[in-house]
Amino acid sequence: MNRLPRWLAHHLAAVRVVVVLTLTVGLLYPLAMTGVAQAVFGHRADGSPVDKDGKPVGSELIGQSFTGTDGTPIRRYFQSRPSAAGDGYDPGSTAASNLGSESVVDVLPTPGEPDSGKLSLLTQVCERSKAVGEFEGVSGARPYCTSDGVGAVLGVFREQGLTGRATRVVSLNQACPATPFLPVYEGVTVGCAQPGTDYGKALIVPVRGDAPALPVVPADAVTASGSGLDPNISPAYAALQAPRVARERGLSLDTVTELIKANTDGRALGFLGEPGVNVLTLNLALDRES
Amino acid sequence: MYGWLQALFVLALLVALHVPVGDYMARTLDGGRHLAIERRLYRICGVDPDREQDWRHYVLALLAFSVVSIAALFALLRLQGSLPWSLGHPGMPWELALHTAVSFTTNTSWQNYAGESTTGHLAVMAGLGVQGFASAAVGMCVGLALIRGLVRRSGTEIGNFWVDLVRSVFRVLLPLAVVFGLLLICMGVQQNLDGAHAVNTVAGGTQTLIGGPVGSWEPVKLMTGDGGGFFNTSSAHPFENPSSLSNALEILIMLIVPTAFIRTFGRMAGNLRLGWTLLIVVGILFGLLLAAGNLAQSAQTGTVAQAVGAQMEGTETRFGIPGSTLFGVSATASADGALNSSYDSFSSLGGGVLLAAMMLGEIAPGGTGSGLYGLIMIVLIAVFLGGLMVGRTPEFMGKRIGFSEMRYVVLYSLVSPALVLTFTGIAVGLPAGVSSMGNVGAHGLTEVLYAFTSSVNSNGSAMAGLNGNTMFYNLTMIVAMFVGRYLPIVFVLALAGRLVRQQPVAVTAGTLRTQGVSFVVLATGGALIVALLNFLPALSLGPLADGLLG
């Protein structure tokens, strides 16, 4: 060993150390942990499965969609948050939208190819808010949203590019022949947007509108989560849905509110994180009730 | 209010725990007897544990270990399809396999793939998991070597790399992993060897749940500065981070080893006061980042945030916005790079804070080992500048910091900005770099800047809108990660080799004291000025432009 050049000796030692580490911390450690975990924390180690009528229906930690096969929400069930994981709540492709706070201009689909566009985060939020509002029978209005549920964003062409008089104004997210959410801006008639046209030279001006700063539809109802598998909704969103679910199931609002409370995880230790209502266990409890 | 209470709670627990853990590390890592089982292990590996190395041989051993590690991991990922426990996933394409191998060996763990659809259990356990331990231990080795360079009074040896490596893994990281792993499993993190299994959901659809040894992976991912998720969305995934309680624990796990290392340094230097002083510097930097992050995340300056009414996009309900911000700042300031929310959907300025935490050189408290040596480098700059300002001899712990020592310090601190800015410049100048952006405009630039800052600084967190799995990004990031990790290490070890030969000078009235308010201000200011000078222009074009003009 000592007769070998030092660099070669190092490499031989390196190979052996890698092998030893692979066997110990690579195999022995996780397998031993699995053994202990299975023996001591069986249910949790198995991923906290939940049953309905003796059949597994998911995990209490993993959110699900409560929609019909066509994607429409089922009225008897509390609805989960929007999800960016696959087609929604797909543990095989967990993801967030990864869109930033200034994602406000849509790429409009070319006519005849509905999949060719790309919605901005703002329009996604507006669309969801409008849909939830209609579903729950409340106002879905939000700042920076048009009444037809897209981002209220103008593209303003000015005389000197960035400054000067407005010469042409386009409502960027409203494809023709839509009626622009604002008829006139700085004296110029607002036009609808032609799909495929490059409005890159225009200044982007989001228009706040007169919606209240605290919309009726809560924030978590219009945003996707970090994992796409968020099992919780906020107590506010649960409260918004409670009357509809009570009505559909012929239960009193008090019963539903009690069940919401029973399926709410408060802040851990009283101050860590945020309270959340577990949608899956809540819906299962409702199914047991009625 | 709850957010601040949560942060105070976690940080108080951290400060309390860092004392016993740091003391234990000092006692068990440096000197003392080899255990019988360790002696056997050294014999199997053909290593003489009692023969120490000078800095050149230390570097050689470290690089040899790293190259062999990359090769082994590359082979495992390529051949995954023909090995057991692959869950039916094929081997990775070569550029992705090489990227992943370099990424995990350099303690970066940037992932250009989604775990749930790419890696089987064997690749995670025996491949990525091993490098999680090993790459963290390598950082600890370099930290130990630099401490010895400062502490020892003669000779040329700075320790034995193999002994430092084996002890870091088996005496520190593994026991902590077992404890933290069991705690997390108790809180709901799954630990099994199942594959994917489909269930019929309540609404009548199907959902494919994916099992796996997540509980044993989680502490490795968090504690070692590794950060790569078992699943694509890492600690946002409920199987990796099921509750607000586990979230607090995970933040603590990310910060504990780097913070304890500061105590270890104080112990080994025989100067606990120095340890506390450095902890205060780190605490101030972390506090500034956290305050800025919380302000940016709660201010709702962005258009979408105002429409929503909160910075809620990409945030899990159970953690909330403060819990996500604290996690994000901890993951970027600690070099871990895990995530529990979408950093791409943070407010522009909030994302800028995460970038700044990495650009600070990941010293608050930084990576396992790498945080400490990065911090010492900043301290040396501060001592040198302070010495020049008041006309005193620059020295630290009795060692003179002259021209030849500063050469290594300066080279060290230039690696990161040079690589980050060069690669970002190349990427935004080429169509192959621009087409991967997930957002447009200034936010797109931020994504690219974030990617290379994360790669060079071995962080591994991502603004995941950027599609990194292209030939261009795989190859450029391989270079960025490799050079960004090992070149600074070579400079640190070279410096340790110089320092260890120096006879300490006597402390006189002319010595700049490394304690007290003036030193804290000097060191904190030094860290901020170095980072700002290097990165302010890039930050202005990215997150600042995005937030102020957007």
Q: Give the pLDDT confidence score for residue A2 in this predicted structure.
A: 53
pLDDT digits (tens, 9 = 90+) for B363-382: 999 999 999 999 999 999 99
Residues of B in contact with A72 (CB under 8 A): none
**Any idea which of A129-143, B66-80, B504-518 has the lowest mean pLDDT?**
B504-518
Statement to judge: residues A66 and A91 lie in one domain:
yes
Q: Closest chain B residue to A59 measured between Cα atoms?
A: B209
CA distance B232 to B85: 19
The SS3 call for residue B469 is coil
Residues of B in contact with A20 (CB under 8 A): 41, 44-45
Residues of A in contact with B196 (CB under 8 A): 92
The verdict on residue A38 lying in a domain is yes
Distance from CA of B342 to the nearest CA of A (A): 5
Tell me the one-letter amino acid at B237. H
Confidence label for B550 from pLDDT (cuts 50, 70 and 90):
low
Q: Tell me which residue range forms the domain holding B543.
A: 2-549
Name the domain boundary from A218, A244, A278. A218
Q: Closest chain A residue to B69 measured between Cα atoms?
A: A18
Q: Give the pLDDT confidence score for residue B548 in this predicted structure.
A: 79
The verdict on residue A189 lying in a domain is yes
Q: CA triplet B52, B54, B57: central angle to 5 degrees?
A: 95
Phi-psi region of B354 (alpha: psi -120 to 50; beta: other; left: phi over 0): alpha
**Any idea which of A170-184, B24-38, B508-522 has the lowest mean pLDDT?**
B508-522
Mutate to test the interface with A, among B239, B308, B447, B548 (most CBs of A within 10 A): B308
pLDDT digits (tens, 9 = 90+) for B235-244: 999 999 999 9
Statement to judge: residues A156 and A84 lie in one domain:
no
CB contacts under 8 A, A 210-269 vs B, are 213-215, 218-220, 222-234, 265, 267-269
Residues of A in contact with B248 (CB under 8 A): 268, 272-273
CB within 8 Å: A269 and B45 = no
Statement to judge: residues A59 and A198 lie in one domain:
no
CA distance A82 to A132: 11
**Residue B514 confidence (pLDDT) above 70:** yes
CA distance B85 to B125: 10
φ/ψ (deg, to 5) at A85: -85, 105
A232 bridge partner residues: A278
pLDDT digits (tens, 9 = 90+) for B251-267: 999 999 999 999 999 99
CA distance B128 to B233: 17
Residues of A in contact with B169 (CB under 8 A): 21, 25
* % of chain B surpassing 70 pLDDT: 100
Q: Please report which helix (H) or strand (E) contains residue A56, including its range.
A: strand A55-59
Confidence label for B361 from pLDDT (cuts 50, 70 and 90):
confident
CB within 8 Å: B126 and A27 = yes
Q: Give the pLDDT confidence score for residue A185 in this predicted structure.
A: 96
Residue found by looking up tokens 């930097």 in the block: B285
Q: Tell me which residue range forms the domain holding A228.
A: 48-97+224-290
When the pLDDT of each residue in chain B is averaged and rounded to a whole number, the result is 94
For range B319-345, the mean pLDDT: 95
CA distance B311 to B347: 7
pLDDT digits (tens, 9 = 90+) for B105-153: 999 999 999 999 999 999 999 999 999 999 999 999 999 999 999 999 9
**Residue B318 confidence (pLDDT) above 80:** yes
Q: Closest chain A residue to B64 measured between Cα atoms?
A: A11
Statement to judge: residues A157 and A179 lie in one domain:
yes
- A111 neighbors A94 (Cβ within 8 angstroms): no
Distance from CA of A111 to the nearest CA of B (A): 23
CB within 8 Å: B211 and A55 = no
Distance from CA of A121 to the nearest CA of B (A): 7
Q: What is the mean pLDDT of each run of 10 residues along chain A (290 residues)?
A: 68 93 97 97 95 94 94 96 95 94 92 86 97 97 96 95 92 94 96 92 94 94 97 98 97 97 95 96 94
Distance from CA of B206 to the nearest CA of A (A): 9
* Distance, C-alpha B476 to centroid of its chain: 20
The verdict on residue A205 lying in a domain is yes
pLDDT digits (tens, 9 = 90+) for B152-198: 998 999 999 999 999 999 999 999 999 999 999 999 999 999 989 99
Statement to judge: residues A105 and A93 lie in one domain:
no
- Number of domains comprising chain A: 3
Closest CB from B41, B231, B303 relative to A102: B303
Residues of B in contact with A284 (CB under 8 A): 202
CB within 8 Å: B238 and A227 = yes
DSSP per-residue letters across B69-88 = HHHHHHHHHHHGGGSTT-TT
The verdict on residue A1 lying in a domain is no
Q: Closest chain B residue to A99 measured between Cα atoms?
A: B345
Question: Of B68, B138, B101, B127, which is closest to residue B486 (Cα–Cα)?
Answer: B138
Residues of A in contact with B465 (CB under 8 A): 98-100
User: If you count residue pairs, one on A and one on B, with CB atoms under 8 Å apart, how many are there?
Assistant: 392
Name the domain boundary from A218, A251, A282. A218
Q: Give the pLDDT confidence score for residue A1 in this predicted structure.
A: 44
CB within 8 Å: B236 and A283 = no
The verdict on residue A187 lying in a domain is yes
Cα atoms found within 13 Å of the Cα of residue A76, Cβ hemisphere only: 14
Distance from CA of A176 to the nearest CA of B (A): 24
Statement to judge: residues A180 and A88 lie in one domain:
no
How far CA B417 is from CA of A19, B37, B90, B190, B487, in Å, comes to 36, 44, 37, 40, 13
DSSP per-residue letters across B51-69 = ---BHHHHHHHHHHHHHHH
- B137 neighbors B107 (Cβ within 8 angstroms): no
- Number of domains comprising chain B: 1
Statement to judge: residues A52 and A143 lie in one domain:
no
